[in-house]
Amino acid sequence: MAPRPVRVVEHRFEWRDDFRAIAGRLRAALGDVVLRIDHVGSTAVPGLAAKDVIDVQVTVRDLDHPELMPAIASAGFRDRPDITGDHVPPWAEPAAGRWKKRYADDGGAGRRTHVHVREDGCPNQRYALLIRDYLRANDAAAAAYERIKRTLAGAFPDDSGAYAEAKEPVCDLIMLAAQEWERRTGWVPGQPDA
């Protein structure tokens, strides 16, 4: 698949409503297969500039549930079997299967969306929620992250893959700070967004 251009834009209030519409379609299609649906990534952090892509985390008990990906497809998303896992931070235990995921996208039609399907209790599922909540609670960290995102978008304006790869160690550093924040505050994932 060809890389897409990278354009970081100012935060848009409609991102929340876009997420809600997407989550409603996924919830209706997935029924009892889904445990929770959350708005993750930069568009989920009020005030944070981001690429105009809605990242949705679908949490399930079993990534291999036979109804999972057909249901996501029925909600209008394209299965991407070429993406089977998340980046593993260098300090994390890369236990087999603990960073697996299923992935779907908008297929180039309609609202740009990334659907990350992760198993409940796996570190990648927690990673997305903890980083999001930490950035929501820490304006200075969010501002620094935005500056890095804008710099990387300038460095890789035509290569979304290189942009994402360059961001991975930055997100790992944010996660380390978020884990310290978690220890101080007693953070636990709140109610799902949908």
Domain definitions of the chain by residue range? 8-185
Lowest mean per-residue pLDDT among 1-15, 146-160, 161-175 = 1-15
Share of the chain above pLDDT 90, in %: 90
What is the pLDDT confidence band of residue 1, given thresholds at 50, 70 and 90?
Answer: low
Global pTM reads 0.95
> How is domain 8-185 classified at the CATH fold level?
Beta Polymerase; domain 2 (3.30.460)
More confident residue, 4 or 129: 129
Q: What is the pLDDT of residues 3-26, one digit of tens each?
A: 778 999 999 999 999 999 999 999
> Which residues are registered as beta bridge partners of 55?
40, 114
b/e code 123-161 from CB counts within 10 Å (16+ = b)? bbbbbbbbbbbbbeebeebbeebbeebeebbeebeebbe
Strand partners, 39: 56
- What pLDDT is stored for residue 157 in this prediction? 95
Q: Where are the alpha helices (DSSP H) in 138-159?
A: 139-155
Give yes or no for residue 113 having a pLDDT over 90: yes
